[in-house]
Structures are given as C-alpha cells and as structure tokens.
Chains A and B, each alone.
Chain A
Amino acid sequence: MIEVEGLTKYFGRLAAIRDVNFRVESGEIVGFLGPNGAGKTTTMRILTCYTPASGGSAKVLGMDVNNDSLKIRQQLGYLPENVPLYDWMRVQSYLEFVARAKKVPARQRSSEIERVANAVGIDKVMGKIIRWLSKGYRQRVGLAQALIGDPPILILDEPTIGLDPKQIREIRNLIKSFSRNRTVILSTHILPEVSQVCDRVIIINKGSIVAEDTPSNLTKGHGKSARCHIVARAPAQEVTEAVENTPHVTGVRIMDGCAAGETQVSVEYEADIDVRPDLARALIQRNIDLLEMRSVQASLEDVFIELVTEEGEESAPSDAVEQQEVAS
C-alpha cells in the first residue's frame, strides 16, 4: 500500500511536484498519466527512495521513504524509463547481481532467477550479453530485475515505450498477471494501455494531480461537453448551419468518409443538456434526411487532453511559471 500526502519536490526554485496526494491500495494497478515534465518520474523517484522529497510525506507499506529507505527498497521493484541496464553483462550474471543486491538468500538465488526468467520469457537469452539483446528483450530483462525478490510493490516507468505492438501486448499481459498479489504503479503515455491494464488512473499535470478515478468513471463522468455523430443526406453547409443554430451546441466538425450526397458531422454540446432531440428536429424542419445519430463517449485520451489543456488555459503562461516558483 502506498500513501502520499502533500508531496512536494523542488529543483532549485522550480517545483517539479507540489502538494501531491494519493493512495494506492494493495493489489491495485494504478496508471500514472501526465504530459512530459508533469512530475510523474519525480514522484516515482521519491517513492523508490532514489531522491528525497522537499516536503510532505510518502509511505510505502506503512514505512516512510525518508526514515525507512532501505527497508522500502527491499520491498519494491523499479523499472526506470529507458531501462538502464549494465550492457556489458550477460543476462544471467546481471540477474545474479540484482539478486545479491536485493539480498535474496544464496540458496534461493538460482531458483529465484529461474522463476523470474520464466515469468518474463527470457529463459532463452540468459547467456547473452545485454548489449546484443533486442529492445523487447531488454525491456523484459528490466522487468525481470524489478521482479527479483518477489517485491510486493512494483513501480514501472513507461515499461512499453519503444516496443512494437506485439511486444507491447506481451508486456501488458505480463503486467496484468502481476495484479493478483502486487501493488503496481504504471506510468505510460499509451492511454489505451491504461484502460486495459489499470484499475485506477491518476492524472498529473504541472506537478499537481488533476484527476483520479477508474478509467470508466473518468470517461463517463468527466468533461464539460458531450459529443454525437450525425449522418444526413444533404450538402455539408446545410447540415452544419442547421446544427450550429441549435441552442447549447458548442462546436461542429465535418468528418470524412461519407457516401456521395451524404454529410457526417461531429457535434459537441454542453454535457449536462441532451440536445439530440433538438438536433433531430432542426434537421427535419429543414427537410434534411437524418440517416444516423449516435452519441460518442469520450475516450481516456479525450479526457487526458482536456484535463492537461484546461490546466494550460486556465493560467496564463507567465502565471504558470510563477506558480511553479518559490517566492525568493
């Protein structure tokens, strides 16, 4: 279990994260999302005891990251971004080093390495030098080192970055299989991955948490606008005019891929008012044949973009910098 309260980290005068609060229950897989520079890696580095926080507290399995750093490090597996391995080592020797570093008892070391190698599917490359491994295998070796010692907490920073779709699916399934008995924090830019793998999502932007919920609740409940797609048999100009003039409609976009003489538009309207009957009436009143109307649920990507863009729009750029800085 991980508890983070008021976590803050300054680099010089710049706040990488500020007053971050969240909680991850045991057995949960939590997706940690945010644009580049949002503070994901900094938060993960504090949780892994790599760097101390400037303020607030972070507890892993009830232990404080500042006071019980060594004990926490023994209970967690970490895969940093870019998977920094010792390229000159053979996979077997590397995992032996990790097992020794993680204080796996000498008698259990070889069985532990074998177990992990089988779990991540690297048993066939154990004798190879890491430098010569494919990106997919490197990533697996990175995961293997995180899994050595069977840690109850796993912190994975973009574990599928740079992999091909097949490898991504394999790694994703692997991470899913961890969830039974482990707490996993997973940082990624691949949003469909979060929907598929994570029980809960935390979105961080400019060092602060902007949303925290299950992926389905986020896509259902979040957003100030809703969307529907309309297909009508009429010229594009007529359709857009009819739709635009309907109250509460906030935007209309013509979409490609329609049959000749038909127009497809994406209509955005205020989320708390269902304007679909009004839209249908508006089209019919103009003698436009309404062929199809369907509401479109926002994807996690839409929610993510909306959340991180909102933040940017609500504060002027100069304010944003000012907010991040500590008063001298």
Chain B
Amino acid sequence: MSGWYAVFRKEIANFFVSPIAYAVIACFLLITGFFFWANVSLMSLVSLQAANNPMISQRINMTDIIIRPLAQNMSIILLFLMPLLTMRLFSEEKKSGSIELLMTYPITDTGVVCGKFLSAACVLVVMLGSSLVFPLLLLTVGEPDLGALAGGYVGILLMGVSFVALGMFLSTLSENQIISAAISFGAALLFWVMSWITSFAGETSGYIIRQLSILEHIESFQKGILALSDVSFFVFFAAFFLFLTTRSLETYRWRG
C-alpha cells in the first residue's frame, strides 16, 4: 500500500478542484430530493385519507412509504451516477500518459489502486452524507424506523463502494472515459438485474445467479437487517474487483 496517501490526496483534489464531484453530488441530491418529496407527498395524501378510516391508519407507516422507497431510489440513482465518478480514474491517466510517471514513482500498484479507490469512496460518503438531510427532516416531523434508515444507508454505502471497485477496474481497460463509463454502467446493471432470470435457469445455476445479484443482497438492508452474508457479498465483491484492478495494472506494465 506504499504511497497510497499521495495518490489519495491528488485524486481528492481532482474530484473537488474540477466540477466532477459537485456535479455528481448535485445530481444525486436533486433526484433523491425529488423522490423524497414525492414520497412525503404520497404519505401526507395517504394520511389524509386514513384520517377517516382507522383501518388504513393502522397499516400506514413512514418506513414503507418513505424510507424504504427512498433507499431503493438512491440505489438506482447510484447505479447511474457511480460510473461518472469512476470513469476517469485510470482512463484519464492512460490517455494523458501520466500513468507512465505515476508508475515510476515509488508507489506500489496496490498503493495506486487503494489511493484512487478511497478517494472515490470518499466522494460517495460525502454524497450519502449530504443526503442525510432528508431523513433528518423526517425526524423533525415524526418517528421514522431508525433501524431501517441506518440499514438502508449501510446497504447503499456498501453497494456504492462495490460499484466504485467495479468501475475502477473497468476504467483500467480503456483510455476512453465514455467507454469506461458505458461498460461500468452496463456491468453494474447486469449485476443488479441478474436475479430476474433465475426463474428460467436451473436450480444450481439459478442459485448462483441469485447469489451474484446485487438486488438480492440489498433488499435485506432496506428492511433494516444487517445479514453477515449480505455484508460479506459486498465486501468480497469490492475486494475481488480491487484485486482485478491491481492485476490489470500489472498486465498494463507488461504491455509497456
């Protein structure tokens, strides 16, 4: 990991000196805010109707109408936005040729990968941190299920970090940022919807596909359940693609 901090500082500066981070965070907050407003509006409408019907009023709660849909919407927004954060991580270095200098500094390949990964993860944390304003608003008007809220956020964070690792690996494969972003989005989407085909697959292959699907593992977080298997999935997912990124850099060295 030698030298990761120098790379981390540089990448953080790149995110925040350029408009990249601001644009992505602003988009994220705008769309999340829109869905939050829509859900809150729905909640107030349903509550209004429930005022005349005690049966309905017992069934409605903030978790089902606002918190869980908010977490689901944020996950889908991240699916679109994470490739924009990761697309330049290696593609830009390869295109400008600066990777040649970077790889001749006394920094290990693992250090380079970790520095870049942590910088993008930091932007993700800032992005999710900024969105906490919405649950805080809920706290002022009611008593949301804090477990579901925290679980949802942990799930989104783990999923986002996995997308960072996946996108970073794919950005080592092309020096064109658009291509990197496109294949990152495609790959993330594939991991997202993978479980949709399980009904057509056999028993074993269906099980494997279900285990690889992000959708299968994110749902429990949104219910406020932190299952070890789901946490492990995202940790292994990220670690696997970080490993592939390091290997990809190594092969890049061999190709000269």
| Cβ–Cβ < 8 Å partners of B101 in chain A | 78, 80, 84-85, 145
- Given A86-B10, A97-B6: A11 and B107 interface contact (C-beta under 8 Å): no
| Cβ–Cβ < 8 Å partners of A52 in chain B | 253-254
A89 interface residue per 8 A CB criterion: yes
Expressed in whole angstroms, the minimum distance between the Cβ of B89 and any Cβ of chain A is 13
Expressed in whole angstroms, the minimum distance between the Cβ of B105 and any Cβ of chain A is 4
A160 interface residue per 8 A CB criterion: no
| Cβ–Cβ < 8 Å partners of A49 in chain B | 104
B108 interface residue per 8 A CB criterion: yes
A132 interface residue per 8 A CB criterion: no
Q: Would A51 and B254 count as touching, CB distance under 8 A?
A: yes
Give Cα A97–Cα B6 distance, bound, in whole angstroms: 6
Q: Would B103 and A50 count as touching, CB distance under 8 A?
A: yes
Q: Find A101's partner among B6, B14, B17, B254 (CB 8 Å cutoff).
A: B6
* Selected interface stretch from B34-42, B62-70, B92-100, B149-157: B92-100
- Given A84-B101, A89-B13: A70 and B255 interface contact (C-beta under 8 Å): no
| Cβ–Cβ < 8 Å partners of B107 in chain A | 101
Give Cα A76–Cα B3 distance, bound, in whole angstroms: 16
Q: Would B103 and A101 count as touching, CB distance under 8 A?
A: no
Give Cα A71–Cα B103 distance, bound, in whole angstroms: 13
B166 interface residue per 8 A CB criterion: no
B1-24 interface code vs A (CB 8 A; 1 in, 0 out): 011011101100110011000000
Q: Most A CB atoms within 10 A — which of B5, B13, B100?
A: B100
- Given A50-B103, A73-B104: A85 and B253 interface contact (C-beta under 8 Å): no
Give Cα A49–Cα B97 distance, bound, in whole angstroms: 16
Residues 81 to 102 of chain A near chain B (Cβ within 8 Å): 82, 84-89, 93, 97-98, 100-102
Give Cα A98–Cα B256 distance, bound, in whole angstroms: 22
| Cβ–Cβ < 8 Å partners of A74 in chain B | 106
- Given A84-B98, A85-B98, A89-B13: A102 and B105 interface contact (C-beta under 8 Å): yes
Q: Find B7's partner among A9, A84, A101 (CB 8 Å cutoff).
A: A101
A248 interface residue per 8 A CB criterion: no
- Tier of interface size on chain B: 20 to 34
Closest to A11 in B: B256
Expressed in whole angstroms, the minimum distance between the Cβ of A135 and any Cβ of chain B is 15
- Tier of interface size on chain A: 20 to 34
Q: Secondary structure of the B side of the interface?
A: helix
Give Cα A78–Cα B100 distance, bound, in whole angstroms: 10
Give Cα A100–Cα B102 distance, bound, in whole angstroms: 12
Q: Would B254 and A73 count as touching, CB distance under 8 A?
A: no
A48 interface residue per 8 A CB criterion: yes
Q: Would B100 and A102 count as touching, CB distance under 8 A?
A: no
Q: Would B5 and A102 count as touching, CB distance under 8 A?
A: no
Q: Find A100's partner among B9, B104, B255 (CB 8 Å cutoff).
A: B9
Expressed in whole angstroms, the minimum distance between the Cβ of A147 and any Cβ of chain B is 13
Q: Would A9 and B98 count as touching, CB distance under 8 A?
A: no
| Cβ–Cβ < 8 Å partners of A50 in chain B | 100, 103-104, 253, 256
Expressed in whole angstroms, the minimum distance between the Cβ of A201 and any Cβ of chain B is 24
Q: Find A70's partner among B5, B106, B253, B254 (CB 8 Å cutoff).
A: B106
Q: Would A101 and B106 count as touching, CB distance under 8 A?
A: yes
Q: Find A88's partner among B14, B102, B103 (CB 8 Å cutoff).
A: B14
| Cβ–Cβ < 8 Å partners of B97 in chain A | 80, 82, 84
Expressed in whole angstroms, the minimum distance between the Cβ of B177 and any Cβ of chain A is 14
Instruction: Give 5 new A-B contacts, CB below 8 A, not counting A93-B13, A100-B9.
Output: A71-B106, A73-B104, A80-B101, A84-B96, A84-B100
A-B interface, 3 closest residue pairs, ranked by CB to CB distance from nearest = A84-B97, A100-B6, A51-B256
Which residues of A are at the interface with B, using a C-beta cutoff of 8 A?
9, 11, 16, 42, 45, 48-52, 70-71, 73-74, 76, 78, 80, 82, 84-89, 93, 97-98, 100-103, 145
